A and B are shown apart, each in its own frame.
Chain A
Amino acid sequence: MTDDRADPDELLARIRREEDRAGRGRLKIFFGASAGVGKTYAMLSAAHELRAQGVDVLVGIAETHGRKDTQAPLAGLEVLPPRVVEHRGAQVAEFDIDAALVRRPACILVDELAHSNAPGSRHPKRWQDIEELLDAGIDVFTTVNVQHLESLNDVVNGITGIKVWETVPDRVFDQADEVIVVDLPPDELLQRLRQGKVYMAAQAEQAIRNFFRKGNLIALRELALRRTADRVDDQMLAYRNDEAIGRVWATRESMLACVGPQAGSERLVRSAARLARQLGVEWHAVYVETPALQRLPTAQREAILKVLALAQQLGARTATLTGQSPAAEIIDYARRHNLARVVVGRGRARALWTGRSITDRLGTLAPEIEVIQVGIEDVAPRRARAGDGAGQPGPKYGGYAWAAAICTAATAAALPLAGRLDLANIVMLFLLAVVVTAVRFGRGPAVLSAFLGVAAFDFFFVPPRYALAVSDAQYLIVFGVMLAVALVIGHLTSGLRFQARVAGHREARTQALYEIARELSGVLTREQVIEIGDRHIEASFHARAVILLPDAADKLAAFDANPQAGAPAVDLAVAQWVFDNGKPAGFATDTLPGSRVHYTPLPAPMRTRGVLVLEPEISRLLLIPEQRRLLETFAALIAIALERVHYVEVAQGALVRIESERLRNSILSAMSHDLRTPLTSLLGLAESLAITRPPLSAAQLEMAGAIRDEAVRMNALVNNLLDMARLQAGEVRLNRQWQPLEEAVGAAVAAMRQPLAKHTVRIDLPADLPLAEVDAVLFERVLCNLLENAAKYTPAGSEVVIEASTQGDEFRVAVADNGPGLAPGMEEAIFEKFTRGEVESTTPGVGLGLAISRAIVEAHGGRIWVERGRDGGARFVIALPRGTPPALPAEAGRAA
C-alpha cells in the first residue's frame, strides 16, 4: 500500500505539467524518414479534416515547392501571406509569426520544423517560432525528417556522409503531443523520385542523388521508426510515473560530460545527450580551464563556450571549472553533484611524459566512478589553427625585451669578474637571470633568457672567449639545466598566476554581488534602485546598461528621461517581448541573437518587474556560464529591490488613503451635525409657533408656516450636498441585501406623500417579481429623487407611474409621468450636477438629485437613463443586474 503512494513532489510536478499543457497549444508532428514521403500532403489532409469539423485552421507556411499534388490540397484553406525578406540579394519568403499571433487561429500549419529563418528574424530557428505559437495557446501542425533531429545528426552523417546543418533539439520532438509517422517504402520513394515528384534544390542535385540511395533510405527509415518507438517507450514510462507507480529517482545514475578543447566536442555532447535520454537521467556538462587552455586563441575559446551552450540546449546543466588538473576538478565536481558516470572523448591527447590519457587518470583518482569513452575524432580534418594568437594579450613582447635586458645586465655584471671567479659561479649569475625572468614574465621569455644566457656565457666566458665555439661538451649540461630551470619555473609561475587570476575573478564576482546586495538593501526609491543597478552592471560586465520599467498599462518605457550619450540602442519592441514573455533575448540568446544588445527580464517573486538592457564591450564575457549566472543574480536582486520598493509605495498609499478617508468622514459628520442642529431648531420652533397660546393671528400663522417650509427646503438641500460629498468621496459602502422591490417602492412613495399630494401615483409591479439585491436606504433615495423630480416638473393632477419588470439578466424599474417631458438634447445633461430640466425656471431645488441617483445606481453596477414616455412625458429607467437570489425559506403551509 505504502509503495503505491506517489511522492508529493512527483505529484506536484505532474500537476504542473498538466497545467502547463492546459494553457499551451498542442503540437502535432508529421515525421518522415526523408524528403518526398508526403509529410506536407498528410499535414494538409489533416487540416482539411479539422476544417470540416469547424475548427479555425490557418496555413502559416507550406513548402509545396510548386508541386501540383501538394498544392492541390491547399485550395480551400486560408493561407497566411508570407513575410518577404531580402537575404543575400534574393527575395526569401519567411513565415510571418507576428501576423500569425495577431490572427490567432485555433490551429496553424507551419511546415519544416527544422527550417532556419533568414537573418534578422525574431528567432534564428523555426522551431522557436513554433514554441512561441504554442505558448500563445495555438495548436501547431508541423513536419520534420529524421536527419534533422539533433541527437541523430551524427548517426545520419555517418550513414549517408551528408552533414545536415539544420537541426531541431530532441526535446521539441519528445514534447510533441502527437507524432504521426508518414512512411513510404524505399522502392516507392525511389519511384516517386524518378517521376520527378520529389523536390530537389538544383545546385545540390548530385549530392542529393547520392543521398537517395536505397541503402541510405532503408537505414533512415529504420532510424525514423526506431526513434518513434523510443518516444512511445518514453510516453509509457511517463504514464507509469504519472500513475503513481513509485520509482526512486536514481540521482546516482546522473552523468557528467567533459567538454575539451578538441574539435569533436560537439559530437561528445550530442552522444552524452542521447545516452542521458536513453537512460532517463539528468546530466551535466563541464569544461575545465587549465593554464594551458587559457592560452588558447579567442576563437577556439568561443567555440568551447558554444559547445557548452549546445549542451545546455540539449538539457544539461553547464559549468566552467578552473584548475591545474582537469581530472581532479572533474572528479571533485562529480562527487559534489553525486554523478556516477563521466563521459569523456577518446582523443589523441595524452600527457606529455606520463603517456596517460585523462581516462586513465580519472580511473586512478576515482575508481568508483564509471568512465564512458566516446569516439570524437571527426571525419573532417582537424580544424586549422587559423587566427592563432589573434586574441593573445599584448604584454608578452615586453616580457621578451625584458628577458634580453636582464641577460645583458647579467653579462655586464659578470664581465668584470671574469678572471677572478670560477666559471661555475658565473653560470649561477645567468641562472639567476633565468629564474628572475621566469618568475616575472613567464615561460616564453624565460626560455629566451635561457638561450641568451647560454649564448652569452659561451661567448664571453667559456674559452675560447669571444667565440661561439664550445671546446668542452660539458657546457651542454649547463645549457640543458638552464633550459630546464627556465621551463619548470616558467610553468610553475604561470600556473600560480593563473590560479591567482581565477581566484581574483571569483573574488571580484563575490565582491560585486556583496556590494550590490548591500547597496540595494537600503534603497527606498525606484530611482535609487536603477542608479545602483546601472552602476554595478556597468562595472561588472564592462557594458552600458539601461533598466526599463513598465508603466501602469504594462508598457515599457525608458525610466531615464534623458539618456546619456553612451546608452545602448534599445529596441523597445524587443524589450516589450522580453517583458511579456519573461525570457531573455538579443545577444547570447536564442531570440534575435544577431543583436549587439542583450535583454534580460527582471524576475521577482510576484511578477516580472522590468527589463535590463546591456550592450557589452567584450561580448565574450556574456557567453561564460558564470558571468551569465552573475547577470541573472544581479537581475534577480534588482527585481526584488524594485518589488520591495513597489510594496513600500503600496503600503504608504494605503496609509495615506486610510488617513484621508478618516479625515473626510470626520469633516462630513461634523458638517452634517453643525448644519442640521440649527435646522432642526428652526423647524421645531416654527412649528411650535403654530401651537402657542394664545393662538397666533392668521397672518402670523402663515409666516410661521413659511419659515417651516423654507427650513424643510434648506434641509433637503443640505441632505443632497452631504450625500453628493459622500458619494464623490469615493467608496460608497453599500449594504446590499435581497429584498422585494415592492417594499422600497412603497417606502419611497410613503416618504414622498407630501410633495406628491396633488398627483396621482400608480404602482404597477408584477406579482412574480424576484428579489433584488440593493442597499435599501440608498435605493429608496433614488426612487425619492425620481418621484420628487416628477412632482416638481409636472403640473398638479398629473399621473406618476412606477413600473418594474425583468429583461434578460436585468431588473428595469421605471418612474414615468405624463407631464411636459424633457427638452430634447437634455437627456444626458440632466444627470450632471447642478443641471435642471428647464433653463429659466422658478422651480426650486439645485439639480443634485439625479446626479446622486446616477452615482448610487452605478455603485450597484446598474444604469439609469431618461427616455420619452407615453404622452411625451419623461420616463426615468433604472436597470440593475439581477444576480442569483438566495434560496427561499421552505415552510410547511400550516395555517395559524
Chain B
Amino acid sequence: MNRPASAVLIVEDEKPIRRFVRAALESEGLKVFEAETGRQGLVEAATRKPDLVVLDLGLPDLDGVDFICGLRAWSAMPVIVLSARAQEPDKIGALDAGADDYLTKPFGVGELLARVRAALRRVATGPEGAAVVRFGRTSVDLGARVVTRGGAPVHLTALEYRLLAVLARNLGKVLTHRQLLREVWGPSYIEQSHYLRIYMAQLRHKLEDDPAQPRYLLTEIGVGYRLSAE
C-alpha cells in the first residue's frame, strides 16, 4: 500500500508539531515537505505537487478555508485539517470548503497515520470510487443500486438509499450535515438537520448490529457523518 513515491505537505506554524508529524510520516516511508505559513504552503503545494496536505487551521497569515479554496481551484488532492477542540465552526467550514478529514489536537500518531493511509487509499482507487462498497456484512452495489446484508437484500426507502450511496461514494471521508443535506435533499433543506439525523438512525437500525454503538455509520459529533469500512 505505502507506495514510496507518495509525498505529504505539512502546513503548520508550530515547529514541534511539524517535527513529530514529519517523524511519524517518514516512519511510514512517506516523503515530507514542510511549510510554515499558509502562503508558503500554497506555493509548496503548487511546486512540489504532493499527494496529500496536512493543514493546521490556526495559521497566523491565512484562514484555513481560504487555503483550501486556493488549493481546490486547481487540485483535488486530499486535505486533512488539524484543529483544536471547541472549534467546530472552523472544522465544518474547512470540510464544507473541500477538506477530506480532520484531527482534533492533541492527536495521537497512530490516529494521524490511519487517516493519512485512508486518504491516500481513496486517491489510489480513483475519483469515482469502487462500484461496490463493502463494510461489515453489508455490500452496496452503486451501479445496480442493490444493498445486501449477509447476502440477503435490504429494503431501503429512496431517501435512505440516496443517503447511503453518498456516504459510500465518499467512503472514509467526513461529510458535514450541510453537504449531506444538499446532496440528498437539495439545497433548500440545509437547515433541516433533523431530517438527516432521523434517516441516519433508520439506516443504522437496518445495517448495524447495535445501532446505539455503530461500527460503520459513524457520528462525528457536531460536524457530520462518516462511513467507515474498518
Nearest-CB residue, chain A, relative to B103: A680
Nearest-CB residue, chain A, relative to B218: A750
Tell me if B47 counts as interface (CB < 8 A to partner A).
no
Tell me if B46 counts as interface (CB < 8 A to partner A).
no
* CB interface residues, B 63-117, toward A, < 8 Å: 84-86, 88, 105-110, 112
Tell me whether A776 and B157 are in contact in the complex, defined as CB-CB below 8 angstroms, given that A684-B106, A715-B106 are known contacts. Answer: no
Docked pose: A747 CA to B224 CA in angstroms: 12
Tell me if A421 counts as interface (CB < 8 A to partner B).
no
B105 interface neighbour in A676, A692, A892, Cβ under 8 Å: A676
| B222 adjacent to A749 (CB under 8 Å) | no
| B84 adjacent to A688 (CB under 8 Å) | no
Distance in angstroms from B191 CB to nearest chain A CB is: 10
CB neighbours (8 Å) of A690 from chain B are 109
Q: Which stretch, A54-62, A358-366, A450-458, A737-745, touches the partner chain B?
A: A737-745
Nearest-CB residue, chain B, relative to A886: B194
CB neighbours (8 Å) of A740 from chain B are 197-198, 201
Distance in angstroms from B198 CB to nearest chain A CB is: 6
Distance in angstroms from A769 CB to nearest chain B CB is: 10
| B158 adjacent to A780 (CB under 8 Å) | no
Distance in angstroms from B8 CB to nearest chain A CB is: 15
Nearest-CB residue, chain A, relative to B164: A896
Nearest-CB residue, chain B, relative to A885: B194
Distance in angstroms from A893 CB to nearest chain B CB is: 5
Distance in angstroms from B216 CB to nearest chain A CB is: 12
CB neighbours (8 Å) of B197 from chain A are 737-740, 743, 771
Residue-wise interface mask of A (209-250) relative to B, using a CB-CB cutoff of 8 A (1 in contact, 0 not): 000000000000000000000000000000000000000000
| A673 adjacent to B58 (CB under 8 Å) | yes
Docked pose: A771 CA to B199 CA in angstroms: 12
Residue-wise interface mask of A (721-748) relative to B, using a CB-CB cutoff of 8 A (1 in contact, 0 not): 0110010000000010111101111110
CB neighbours (8 Å) of B210 from chain A are 763
Tell me if B188 counts as interface (CB < 8 A to partner A).
no
CB neighbours (8 Å) of B198 from chain A are 740, 771, 888-889
| A896 adjacent to B16 (CB under 8 Å) | no
Docked pose: A147 CA to B220 CA in angstroms: 84
| B213 adjacent to A685 (CB under 8 Å) | no
Number of A-B contacts (CB under 8 A): 146
| A894 adjacent to B158 (CB under 8 Å) | yes
CB neighbours (8 Å) of B24 from chain A are 684, 687-688, 691
| A747 adjacent to B221 (CB under 8 Å) | yes
* CB interface residues, B 5-25, toward A, < 8 Å: 14, 16-17, 19-21, 23-24
Tell me if B145 counts as interface (CB < 8 A to partner A).
yes
Instruction: Give the residue among A692, A726, A771, A895 with the most B Cβ atoms within 10 A.
Output: A895
Nearest-CB residue, chain A, relative to B146: A896
CB neighbours (8 Å) of A763 from chain B are 210, 212-213
Tell me if A677 counts as interface (CB < 8 A to partner B).
yes
Tell me whether A685 and B156 are in contact in the complex, defined as CB-CB below 8 angstroms, given that A722-B86, A743-B219 are known contacts. Answer: no
* CB interface residues, A 662-695, toward B, < 8 Å: 672-673, 676-685, 687-688, 690-693
Docked pose: A745 CA to B157 CA in angstroms: 26
Distance in angstroms from B203 CB to nearest chain A CB is: 11
| B110 adjacent to A738 (CB under 8 Å) | no
Docked pose: A677 CA to B58 CA in angstroms: 10
Tell me if A711 counts as interface (CB < 8 A to partner B).
yes
Nearest-CB residue, chain B, relative to A723: B86
| A895 adjacent to B20 (CB under 8 Å) | no
| B106 adjacent to A765 (CB under 8 Å) | no
Distance in angstroms from B35 CB to nearest chain A CB is: 17
| B194 adjacent to A684 (CB under 8 Å) | no
Distance in angstroms from B228 CB to nearest chain A CB is: 11
Distance in angstroms from A132 CB to nearest chain B CB is: 52
Docked pose: A889 CA to B86 CA in angstroms: 31
| B106 adjacent to A693 (CB under 8 Å) | no
Tell me if A891 counts as interface (CB < 8 A to partner B).
yes
Tell me if B187 counts as interface (CB < 8 A to partner A).
no
Tell me if B137 counts as interface (CB < 8 A to partner A).
no
| A745 adjacent to B145 (CB under 8 Å) | no
Tell me if B186 counts as interface (CB < 8 A to partner A).
no
Question: What are 9 A-B interface contacts by the 8 Å CB criterion?
Answer: A684-B107, A687-B24, A687-B110, A722-B86, A739-B193, A740-B201, A888-B198, A896-B158, A896-B161
Known: A673-B84, A894-B157. 7 other contacts (CB 8 A): A679-B105, A683-B107, A688-B24, A726-B86, A894-B158, A895-B155, A896-B146
Q: Which residues of B contact A (CB under 8 A)?
A: 14, 16-17, 19-21, 23-24, 27, 58, 84-86, 88, 105-110, 112, 145-147, 155-161, 192-195, 197-198, 200-201, 204, 210-214, 218-219, 221-222
